[in-house]
Chain A
Amino acid sequence: MADSLLSYISLAMILFSIGLLGVISRKNIFIVYMSIELMLNAVNLIFISLGRYYESMEPQVISILIIAVAAAEAAVFLSLIVVLYRRKRSLDSDIFNILSQKSAS
């Protein structure tokens, strides 16, 4: 039982790291968004496997909640991406820099 928990958590950590790497290294906003979703699901996986291990229902409730919130978030995120794209005709995250120190001064 403990061994299989370790492998579940290892898988979740790998997934999380991939997502984090994606957030940091990719420019395309869509890829960044997908990476965030990947990280969310990695967390979900940890919750569920721990819930199974401790035979508790609460983590499963939380993961259901996360999925629901992620769905709502997806709607907001996608609409934001549409607005940003209309502004700049690009999905490169480096273009959106109006808060930088250079553009401020």
Chain B
Amino acid sequence: MSSFLLSWIVLVPLLSAIILGLLYLYSIKIKKLSNKVFAIFGLTSPFISFAIAGLFFIQMLQDGKTIHYEAYKWLGVGSYNVSMGFMADNLSIFMILFVTFVGGLIHVYASGYMKDDEGYGKFFFYFNFFLASMLLLVLADSPIIMFIGWEGVGLCSYLLISYYYKDSENVLAGNKAFIANRVGDFGFIVAMITMFYYAGANGFDYVSLQNSIGNVPIEIVTYIGIALFIGAVGKSAQIPLYVWLPDAMAGPTPVSALIHAATMVTAGVYMVARFHFVYELIPNVGLVIAYIGAFSALFAATIATKQTDIKKILAYSTMSQLGYMFIAVGLGSYSVGIFHVFTHAFFKALLFMGAGAVIVALHHEQNIFKMGGMKKHTPVVFFTMLIATLSIAGIPPFSGFFSKDEILLSAFASGEYLLWGIGVLTAIMTAYYMFRLFFVVFFGKNSSEDRHIVELPKSILIPLVILAVGSILTGFLGVPELLGGTNLASQWLSEWKNTSLHIDHTTESVLMLINVLAALVGIFIAYKKFYKYDMTKVPKFSGMIWNKFYIDEIYDVLFVRSIKRLSSFIAMEIDIKIIDSLLMGLSSKFISIGHLVARVQNANTRFYAFVMLCGISLISIYLIIELR
């Protein structure tokens, strides 16, 4: 199979996005088009990409070679070239496969979810463009090309968070996401420039960088590693740049599912894994990454236990799961981290889509304490959500169990018992808050039982079922040796990057047991407190956790207000009183000097003649003195 098809994985959604954008312009300016026209383009492109990626996957299964394709020379400075290159190795093809698959299902779901929306075409334009950027990010063969995709997904995230732009709060949420991401992007840019300066002499693609990074002084590598991680923190919503993720839930639910759960936010994890050759040299920075991930996981899980907005709970849980992934990649178990990215994409997309289905069924109600009793009304959503919730809580044999177990195992095997402890604690809380949500939404007793429930279309329900099956099956790709399985995902990824753990089977089974127990404890607490919860006596929420530890307020005071005060000080004091008065004073002085000089020009010919006489006389005197 010719390798130029690799670029078509990215090009198909991109072209489809361009066509959709033009059609949408045509639709609003000239003649209204039906939603079907948009859906044809919007829905086929992810699956075409998936099919192409699948072909490459099969080819790579057979010969195991990394596929490179250079489309064209993108930048040329002297003899130095940066080409628009694509690379499919075991890591990126793995990412591509589930990004296109889950993304395609979310596209189908969105076609049902958004069917009454005016900007249907615009939505699919953004969605396809997002997919193209994400695929470019993953398939890129150099940091620069990756950065194009990186910024593209950031842009789409901003556009889609502010999708309901008529409400100013949504626009502010979009701004917040964009600005917080920008802080991270700055780290990425700094890392790229430093890397280029110190290791870019022999080419700037991953392969050349991997070869030349060894000659770079270790302090510089540390610096690069930290700066790169700042980029990852911004994109993947970890402490301290996570604040945008909960607010990002202002966008439509398919957006939350696709961008803020399954794909874009995992770009940070992917990036750390992609730059594994940097982090291998600096295990200390990796440890910092793991700890930041662990604290983010615990922190987000704590906040999630007290939230009432269904999407906010899921947003914090996303942040928490991303924390797990960073524990794994920080400790160098890249295949484990990526495997969790993979399973998480399935069950978290499913959770969001299930939440979206419930929200649609209840006329856009997002408070879980106003839902209740949904088991009866939406049985399909109930079963699929049950699978997803069990999966995220870590109950075998659902997929989340295997990936989370591996992460905690690798933390334990690395000797980082504190990380392991935090992980287990977070696992208890994850099970607790997820089942709190689940019990309240599906079993809660709601007095207003006779409310009108919207019929859910097939395009919403079918993706739910497929993803639910996926949430069960994907786990079996990573069954550990202990349980008599072969860890297929880990094998596949270890061809790319070998990470083997040294731990005996007794410890492994004890740890596995602890994980299951932790999940069961969390579920039990949730069951005691929230099973058949009476919605009439919802407690008033207050306190530190309900207010998200006041982090938003602290940031507001620390950064937003101080910068506002600083800028108003500069505008009112420095600009007007110093710079303006200096410049205006200077120019007014010039004007008055000009007026003074202009008096000489009085149109009196005799005066001119007199001045000429004086001048000539002076020159003559000078010449006489000089030339005598």
Contacts and interface: CB of A to CB of B under 8 A. Distances in A.
Interface string B584-618: 00000000000000110111111001100100000
Contacts of B602: 97, 100-102
Nearest to B600: A101
B609 A24 contact: yes
Interface of A: 20, 23-27, 32, 93-94, 96-103
Interface of B is mostly: helix
B613 A101 contact: no
Given A20-B613, A24-B613, A99 B606 contact: no
B606 A100 contact: no
B613 A94 contact: no
Given A93-B605, A101-B598, 11 more contacts: A24-B606, A24-B610, A27-B606, A32-B605, A96-B605, A97-B602, A97-B604, A98-B603, A100-B603, A100-B604, A101-B601
Interface of B: 598-599, 601-606, 609-610, 613
Contacts of A101: 598-599, 601-603
A38 B599 CA distance: 31
B603 A97 contact: yes
B601 A100 contact: yes
Contact of A23 (B598, B599, B601, B606): B606
A103 B603 CA distance: 9
11 contacts: A24-B613, A27-B606, A93-B606, A94-B606, A97-B602, A97-B603, A97-B604, A99-B601, A100-B603, A101-B598, A101-B602
Contacts, number: 35
A105 B613 CA distance: 28
The 3 A-B pairs with the shortest beta carbon distances in the complex, nearest first, are A100-B603, A97-B603, A101-B598
A25 B603 contact: no
B602 to A, nearest CB: 5
Contacts of B598: 101
Contacts of A23: 606, 609
A101 B603 CA distance: 8
Nearest to A99: B603
Nearest to A103: B603
A105 to B, nearest CB: 8
A25 B604 CA distance: 11
A80 B609 CA distance: 19
Nearest to A98: B603
Contacts of A32: 605
A90 to B, nearest CB: 14
Contacts of B606: 23-27, 93-94
A65 B87 CA distance: 89
A94 B606 CA distance: 8
